[in-house]
Amino acid sequence: DQQVKQNSPSLSVQEGRISILNCDYTNSMFDYFLWYKKYPAEGPTFLISISSIKDKNEDGRFTVFLNKSAKHLSLHIVPSQPGDSAVYFCAARAAGGTSYGKLTFGQGTILTVHP
């Protein structure tokens, strides 16, 4: 049973426009959410995160929104740049448990930004 889902395998946007990547989760114990970015032949790189006590976190061109009641989060990139083209993974961390650092990832969304 997949607890973190990214239902869009791919997204294509024009340079300068907004990119919106979505993520849904099912586990109510998740209390911290992260977005990672991955280029081919590289490992995932941390991008931005949000605690469950917040509904928005912004870092430059990147903003993450969290809707706890809907168990949904989204990553907004404005303006999108060709260098943003990569695979974006949504990840979540559960409170408690034996391994608080354990992350549960979604399947990833391939973002392509066209010049």
Partner 1 sequence: EAGVTQFPSHSVIEKGQTVTLRCDPISGHDNLYWYRRVMGKEIKFLLHFVKESKQDESGMPNNRFLAERTGGTYSTLKVQPAELEDSGVYFCASSQAWTGSEAFFGQGTRLTVV
> What residues make contact with partner 1 under the rule CB under 8 A?
2, 4, 32, 34, 36, 41-46, 49, 89, 91, 93, 97-108
User: How many whole angstroms separate alpha carbon 5 and alpha carbon 105?
Assistant: 8
User: How many whole angstroms separate alpha carbon 96 and alpha carbon 113?
Assistant: 38
In the complex, minimum distance from the CB of residue 18 to partner 1, in angstroms, rounded to a whole number: 25
Q: Which is nearer to partner 1, 32 or 79 (CB)?
A: 32
| Distances from the Cα of 99 to the Cα of 31, 50, 93, 104, angstroms | 14, 19, 9, 12
Q: Which amino acid is at 88?
A: Y
In the complex, minimum distance from the CB of residue 23 to partner 1, in angstroms, rounded to a whole number: 11
In the complex, minimum distance from the CB of residue 114 to partner 1, in angstroms, rounded to a whole number: 22
Q: Which is nearer to partner 1, 43 or 60 (CB)?
A: 43
